[in-house]
Amino acid sequence: MSEITPAEWTAILLSLRVAVIATLVATPFGIALAWLLARRDFWGKSVIDALVHLPLVLPPVVTGYLLLLTFGRRGLVGGFLADYLGIVFAFRWTGAALACGVMAFPLLVRPMRLSIEAIDRRLEQAAETLGAAPWKVFFTVTLPLALPGVLAGMVLGFAKAIGEFGATITFVSNIPGETQTISSAIYSLIQTPDGDAAAGRLVIISIVLALGALIAAEWFARRATARLHGN
């Protein structure tokens, strides 16, 4: 195993950028949705729940193709965003971030939802009797107590985003320096006659990143338990 080449570095840094942006943008939506699913009953809740989990069970190539149809230059949303806001997703790194965000969303929402469900609602009631309006209850009691779960969701979402392949390559292709993430770089390298060594290095980096994320998520989960017991 020799040194990491500049081309590999480009793929690694792009993967990190795509995954960080995808996670950060998805997080507020994830928290809002986790709270709705954990705390509110409304018409169509099970449909929303199913839609959130869809990217988990759908073939990634289908999710990528649907993203292409929707957010491509001629897509319904993509056309509007490109014409009026100048935001282009197709064949750009932003599109890779969108694909990774969508694919990571179910994993990101789940720990957040579980940690909100685990909070004793009687604490929220107590906050209300002390004069806290519902939004204040959320920010002073619910969110702080759910914080380890929120962070665990972000870590898991990040891990998923950094390894995403199928939806990304379908939606934004495999352009070095623009949309070629670690996964698509590995895919290209193993199809190249002497790409094995380079592929091997990227494989090891993938494993390290994924393991690191899982260990971090586990650590946050333990923190959550300690926090709920008031220690």
Partner 1 sequence: MLRVDVEKRLGEFSLHASFTSEGRVTGLFGASGAGKSSLVNMIAGLLRPDRGTIAIDGDVVDDTAAGIHVPTYRRRIGYVFQDARLFPHLDVAQNLDYGRRMNGLALDPAQHKRIVDLLDIGALLDRRPGKLSGGERQRVALGRALLSKPRLLLLDEPLGALDEGRKLEILPYLVRLRDEANVPMVYVSHDVAELRQLATQIVMLKQGRVTSFGGVKVLS
Binding site for partner 1 (CB under 8 A): 120, 122-123, 125-134, 136, 140-141, 144-145, 227-231
Nearer to partner 1, 146 or 162 (CB): 146
* Closer residue to partner 1, CB minimum distance, 144 or 212: 144
When the beta carbons of 145 and 205 are compared against partner 1, the nearer one is 145
Nearest to 227, CA basis, from 146, 152, 110, 113: 146
Provide the minimum distance between the beta carbon of 127 and partner 1 in the complex, in angstroms, as a whole number. 7
State which residue, 120 or 218, has the beta carbon closest to partner 1.
120
In the complex with partner 1, the residue whose CB is nearer, 191 or 231, is 231
Report the nearest approach of partner 1 to the CB of residue 117 (Å): 16
Give the containing element (helix H, strand E) for 175: none
On the CB side of 180, CA atoms within 13 Å amount to 15
Residues 6 or more apart in contact with residue 67 via CB below 8 angstroms: 89, 95, 98, 99, 102, 167, 170, 171
Q: How far is the CB of 31 from partner 1 (least distance, A)?
A: 17
Query: 227: which 2 tokens?
Result: 């926090």
Cβ closer to partner 1: 2 or 129? 129
| CA–CA dist 208, 57 (Å, integer) | 25
Distance CA 97, CA 164 (A): 10
Whole-Å CA distances, 153 to 34, 165, 205? 10, 20, 21
Q: What is the CA radius of gyration of the chain?
A: 20
